Structure 1
Amino acid sequence: MMPWYQAFLMMIGVILALMALRIPVAFAFLIVNVIGVSIFMGGHFGLVQLAANASEALANYSLVPIPLFILMGELFFHTGVAQRVFVVVDQLLGSVRGRLAYVSIGGGTIFSALSGSSLGNVAMMGSTMYPEMHRKGYSDTLSIGPIIATGGLAAIIPPSGLAVVLGSLAGMDVGRLLLAGLVPGLLLAFSFAALVFVISFLRPEAAPQYETARISFAEKLSLIAVNLVPMALVIIVVMGLIIFGIATPTEAAAFGVVSVMLVAALFRQLTVKAIVQAASSAMKISGMIFMIILASTTFSQILSLSGATRGLVDWVQSVDFSLTAVLATMALVLIVLGAFLEPVGIMMLTIPVFMPLVQSYGVDPLWMGVFILIFIELGLATPPFGLALYVMLASAPGKSIIDLTRAVAPYLACSLLLVVLITLVPDIVLFLPSLAAR
């Protein structure tokens, strides 16, 4: 048996090399799994066990919410209901300085809660909001920045598809993990809005003032009642079903899909074409995620069987690193990986190592799950290969990755401040899950 550090470096090194060759994440992990089971589980027997793990990994009830939450978001987008949210938030804000930046944050937060798709969020806001903000003379910091930053909220605010994947990979209660991300996600959205206010106040030229159509208070109430209340009810009921133990995350996700369809039907925007497009897109995304989960189950087992996981934990404890140092190192690893890998690939690489390590320090797995999700959100906007940057680049012709990075940098600082806050006050993450556990 090779030393744990050689096994660890071999497994991680081969995966990174395959990814560098642009082999899809799921297939890279499957190739490494075949190599790993041959070395550590004994040739033919290892391959048989790999096949057995495949069916066992996917025959998991906790995975069912993934395609349902994805379908919920795709219906929200393809039926055009998402567009109504942005239009209404825009009308409600009137002539507030920087209002289009607030619309991006407010509408994007609502869309995050209903879609669970960070890149879908950035793509939609980039194509709908950025051209108008650019035409009105908004600076990059108040146009591009909020769009990319708010897009990442979908990784944190429930119902987050990434949170469901993370919970499944880490063996956590998915419902409680979804709840754990709610308060941090909302705090992050408010911090983005506060940042827009400060920038607009200190640099008025960054958000030029212009006349907008005035609407009465009664008209505002009507807009809220007709357009926003149904959307809010979908979010509240889906999360309420989980919080009060009335339904499992799977049942709540199914209710969410039906609710979005009903709302779209009430708005007369539910068409056969929209349903087919949403179902097709959800099927493709879900298939990719399930392939990755299939590969990750055996990867975790091989790391454990080779002694790499236990060896790393024992080494860290023997060196007597403080918890702060361990978390700071993990944060750095997540940021670096975020610049090169997509979110699920990052989770597959880090969860088998990070979770046993932090649990040896007595850290709550739910808190660690939110910690990882925040840094995944950061990674989507981290150069040179943050996926959200490239999605936004398609909607902002003439801009470079450097321009986009400068625009979103102050918002990423808000995310880092949130990490410091939840580290000092863990109950920000753990309070809601504790209610659901009773």
Structure 2
Amino acid sequence: MLSLPWYMTLGGIFGSVIALTFAGLPVFVVFLLINVAGIVFVLGPSAFGMFANSLVATLTSEAFIAVPLFLLMGEMLSRSRAIDELYEAFDSILGQMRIRLYALCTLVATAMGTVSGSAMADAAMLGRSIYPGMVARGYDKKMSTGLILAGSTIAPIIPPSVLTVVLATLANASIAEMLIAGILPGLLLAALYIAYAYIRVLIDPSKAPPLDTTIHRTIGDRIRGLMRMFPFVFVMFAVIGLMLAGIASPTESAAMGVLATVLVSLWLRTFSWRMIWVSMMGAAKISGSVFVIIMSANLFGQLLSFTGATEQMVTIVEGWDVAPWLVFLMLMAITLLAGMFLGATEWMLISVPVFTPIIASVGFDPIWFWTLYLINVVTGGMTPPFGMTMFVFKAAVPGSNIIDIYNSTWPFVAVIFFGILIMAVFPEIVLILPQLMR
């Protein structure tokens, strides 16, 4: 058993996480090893009871049930024709406009986010499906790339998002309120992306092809397009609508989402027992990783508390005697910098146990702060040099250049932080829906 100053222990933990992550180990393995090593060297072998307690606490947590259900819903929905129907619906509704495919890409990315909940999955799907058509029709390559990567970051923000459930669990925040709080911020970011594309094309018309006068959408086409959105809207109402109305908890909403997805697949004639089996296997694999992450996070917080790191960090912040907004800027700047080198889950597991007592001492609303923190964290996936969403996009688009991808992201990173600034100045954007739930 070692007795080291808290800052050396904290520094050793952070350094070990970074080293093991860059060694290529999965995030759940990294934190499992860190926690076992922490028990052995910091607390001693007799403290392995904490490991067992974290295991039992995670297994018996009702909130965790929502995770595999949301994952199963996403797996099943992606294998039905609901997303294809939604794409064709948006295509029917949009009329003649210079930024037509930019707008279509953003709308589809936002809708797909409610299915996958993963920025990397969205980037891969959009890179394979929409990007080639955008380039072929004369849309700017860099702007199309940046828009797809930015649109992909909406996925973990809007419900149902597994990353939001994990964050709420780590921060001891209301899962239902955290999920609902992401709706308006996600829609705001989507609107800002479309507005940015519109302004850029106004300034530089070469960013988009000339107006396609061959596209004609009648009132009947738009009505049929709206009707084709019904399967997807039905599933989203079963999840978000019931939760927002206060009728169902996140776990119950997730179960209703699975049921609604089964009904939609029957309606679209894509249901099969093989689809159910493959979806269940995919959800089970990811759920196992998430389970280990949450278990490790519970133990990690206990280790930090035992070493005195949590208490000392709060004491340091309280001793600064600075305005709360400076603390907010500092935490956001640290998160942005860390996101350039670490994945969202890695940084969440490191920072949430440290940030939680700090935001409590400063007096921030936890739902507001953690929602903005989540947006910041997922933005790290599209920031050089190690943003994983960018590498996924490169793998999905053969022949793409990583330097061009790097250059395409910065304007949209600026747009995202402009959105964070708006939500910092007007917190009602984040808090109004959770307040209505209450």
Give the TM-score normalised by structure 2: 0.95
Which position in structure 2 is the counterpart of 1:326? 327
Is 1:219 the equivalent of 2:221? Answer: yes
Structure 1 residues 289-300: aligned runs within 5 Å: 289-300=290-301
Answer whether contact 2:58 2:64 (CA < 8 A) is retained: no
Is 1:31 the equivalent of 2:33? Answer: yes
Structure 1 residues 30-429: aligned runs within 5 Å: 30-41=32-43, 43-209=44-210, 210-225=212-227, 227-429=228-430
Structure 1 residues 7 and 321, CA, compared in 2 at 3 Å: closer, same or farther? farther
Structure 1 Cα separation of the partners of residues 14 and 350 of structure 2? 8
Which AA in structure 1 matches 2:373? I
Which AA in structure 2 matches 1:287? G
Structure 1 Cα separation of the partners of residues 146 and 84 of structure 2? 20
Structure 1 Cα separation of the partners of residues 414 and 84 of structure 2? 29
Which AA in structure 2 matches 1:81? A
Deviation at 1:272, TM superposition (A): 3.2
Is 1:16 the equivalent of 2:35? Answer: no
Deviation at 1:27, TM superposition (A): 2.0
Which AA in structure 2 matches 1:380? G
Structure 1 Cα separation of the partners of residues 144 and 222 of structure 2? 25
Structure 1 Cα separation of the partners of residues 92 and 417 of structure 2? 32
Deviation at 1:348, TM superposition (A): 0.4
Structure 2 Cα separation of the partners of residues 215 and 248 of structure 1? 41
Structure 1 Cα separation of the partners of residues 380 and 209 of structure 2? 31
Structure 2 Cα separation of the partners of residues 411 and 270 of structure 1? 38
Structure 1 Cα separation of the partners of residues 275 and 131 of structure 2? 24
Which AA in structure 2 matches 1:11? I
Which AA in structure 1 matches 2:287? S
Question: CA offsets, 1:235-261, max 9 Å, x none?
Answer: 234222112221110010111111122
Deviates more, 1:317-326 or 1:289-298: 317-326
Deviation at 1:211, TM superposition (A): 4.5
Structure 2 Cα separation of the partners of residues 106 and 276 of structure 1? 30
Deviation at 1:328, TM superposition (A): 2.0
SS of aligned partner of 1:153: coil
SS of aligned partner of 2:277: helix
Answer whether contact 1:94 1:212 (CA < 8 A) is retained: no
Structure 2 Cα separation of the partners of residues 200 and 229 of structure 1? 33
Which AA in structure 2 matches 1:138? Y
Answer whether contact 1:140 1:404 (CA < 8 A) is retained: no
Answer whether contact 2:80 2:265 (CA < 8 A) is retained: yes
Deviation at 1:163, TM superposition (A): 0.5
Deviation at 1:293, TM superposition (A): 1.1
Deviates more, 1:392-401 or 1:240-249: 392-401
Answer whether contact 2:88 2:225 (CA < 8 A) is retained: no
Structure 1 Cα separation of the partners of residues 320 and 168 of structure 2? 30
Q: Note the aligned Cα RMSD (angstroms).
A: 1.7
Answer whether contact 2:82 2:232 (CA < 8 A) is retained: no
Which AA in structure 2 matches 1:100? L
Answer whether contact 1:98 1:142 (CA < 8 A) is retained: no
Answer whether contact 2:78 2:115 (CA < 8 A) is retained: no
SS of aligned partner of 1:157: coil
SS of aligned partner of 1:156: coil
Structure 2 Cα separation of the partners of residues 66 and 118 of structure 1? 17
Structure 1 residues 87 and 408, CA, compared in 2 at 3 Å: closer, same or farther? farther
Which AA in structure 1 matches 2:138? G
Where do 5+ consecutive residues of structure 1 fail to align?
none
SS of aligned partner of 2:224: helix
Question: CA offsets, 1:387-416, max 9 Å, x none?
Answer: 110111123222222211222322221210
Which AA in structure 2 matches 1:17? A
Structure 1 Cα separation of the partners of residues 226 and 251 of structure 2? 29
SS of aligned partner of 2:338: helix
Give the TM-score normalised by structure 1: 0.95
Structure 1 Cα separation of the partners of residues 224 and 59 of structure 2? 46
